[in-house]
Amino acid sequence: MAAPKKGAVGPLVGAVVQGTNSTRFLVFNSKTAELLSHHQVELTQEFPREGWVEQDPKEILQSVYECIERTCEKLDEVNVDIANIKAIGVSNQRETTVIWDKLTGEPLYNAVVDCLETEGGA
């Protein structure tokens, strides 16, 4: 028996939501706003000193890849063609800072996360 053809659901819109605690990728039907699939990965935070929060930039990037891959696999399982994803929006940590080596593209240090609770809070 032949596998059914991929459904013509769409157009679809994806969203990468990269926050300090986790990364998510969500895919919606743009006509109905129905959430079709998503995946979330929790992130590790390091606290090298009181009031400091750091994250591994490579872990952040890998979490984005993993979320996109797993979400697309889930869509494939329900016969939704990922070629119908027509746009992807990105939300990120904003004030988190990473310094990259210009030549190698490698991070020089952990991502330094903005923490409003430093210096007595804001």
Quick one: average pLDDT of 7-14?
83
Quick one: average pLDDT of 45-74?
96
CB atoms < 10 A from the CB of 109, how many? 11
Distance of alpha carbon 36 from alpha carbon 86, whole angstroms: 14
Per-residue pLDDT band at 10 (split at 50, 70, 90): confident
Q: Which is higher by pLDDT, 93 or 68?
A: 68
Specify the pLDDT at position 117.
Answer: 53
The domains located in the chain, with CATH, are 12-120 (3.30.420.40)
C-alpha atoms less than 13 angstroms from C-alpha of 6 in its C-beta half-sphere: 12
Distance of alpha carbon 35 from alpha carbon 12, whole angstroms: 10
pTM: 0.83
Instruction: Give residue 21's identity as a one-letter amino acid code.
Output: N
